[in-house]
Amino acid sequence: MESGPESELLVVLIHGSLDRSGGMALLARHIQGSHRVLRYDRRGYGRSWPHAGPFAVYNQVDDLSTLIGDRKVVLIGHSFGGNIALTASVQLASQVVGVSTYETPLSWMDWWPGTTAGAMAVASSESDAAENFMVRLIGPKRWNELPERTRGERRREGAALVGELTALRMKAPWSVQDISCPVLCGYGSKGSKHHAEGARWLTNNVKNSRLVELKDAAHSAPMTHPLQFVTELVLPHCEG
């Protein structure tokens, strides 16, 4: 879905694993007054379920490219979405004004921990993956308090979750040498250590990049700290 003035620069919000466009709605509200905003359900999630796959990053970039067309764009990727944004910046080249990633997994790296929510999901069957992923993120109490319909919707998205996370562990979907646009590498001060280390690795290895720490934020910053997120990770690309 798109909102905001059609004549302005397009900002695309790319959600993470086991999420949907609704998770980026608060960000959109803070952007759409001055810029065009696009948010969408990635393949296998929300209104893009069911989907036969495959779910690798490059397949998701094909979807994104179709939505963008020939427009100039800023790409904002939360979690897994950051890998889509970085890969798309290479494919779309001069169309991309800038990229922001937030706590993006570098799961193919030898030092990336094997105890993350993503690792637990990949080690599960498709039918159990989504529940194991969510329990690892929010805890069993909050998972059990979700409406049964919501839990059912998440469980059925297990195929997409396992497909994309398994592919990400096999090899890097992008090369730092190919990324030329400005990149803001975000993480939350209350987030996990490996997410902060991932953001620092990106900053140290991607040219024209800068590290951004969101104070008092965790992995769910797009929903808990939307104005701070937009101010520090979106608007710098739009105002440059």
Query: Residue 144 falls within a domain, yes or no?
Result: no
Query: Residue 229 falls within a domain, yes or no?
Result: yes
Query: What values do phi and psi take at 110, rounded to 5?
Result: -60, -30
Query: What values do phi and psi take at 105, rounded to 5?
Result: -70, 135
How many CA atoms, within 13 angstroms, populate the side-chain half-sphere of residue 2?
12
Query: Residue 210 falls within a domain, yes or no?
Result: yes
Residue for token pair 């990400």: 168
Query: Residue 142 falls within a domain, yes or no?
Result: no
Number of domains the chain contains: 1
Domain of 230, CATH number, reads 3.40.50.1820
DSSP 158: H
Query: Residue 200 falls within a domain, yes or no?
Result: yes
pTM of the shown model:
0.96
For residues 110-130, give the mean pLDDT: 90
The mean of the pLDDT values for the chain is 96
Query: Residue 135 falls within a domain, yes or no?
Result: no
**CA geometry: angle at 45 spanning 160 and 17, to 5°?**
65
Provide the residue range defining the domain that includes 43.
2-109+173-238
d(CA 165, CA 108): 10
175-227 residue pLDDT tens: 999 999 999 999 999 999 999 999 999 999 999 999 999 999 999 999 999 99
φ/ψ region of 216 (left if φ > 0, alpha if ψ in -120 to 50, else beta) reads: left
134-175 residue pLDDT tens: 999 999 999 999 999 999 999 999 999 999 999 999 999 999
Query: Residue 219 falls within a domain, yes or no?
Result: yes
d(CA 133, CA 155): 10
- Asked if residue 117 has pLDDT above 90, the reply is no
26-57 residue pLDDT tens: 999 999 999 999 999 999 999 999 999 999 99
For residues 100-112, give the mean pLDDT: 97
d(CA 208, CA 51): 36
Query: Residue 152 falls within a domain, yes or no?
Result: no
- Asked if residue 240 has pLDDT above 80, the reply is no
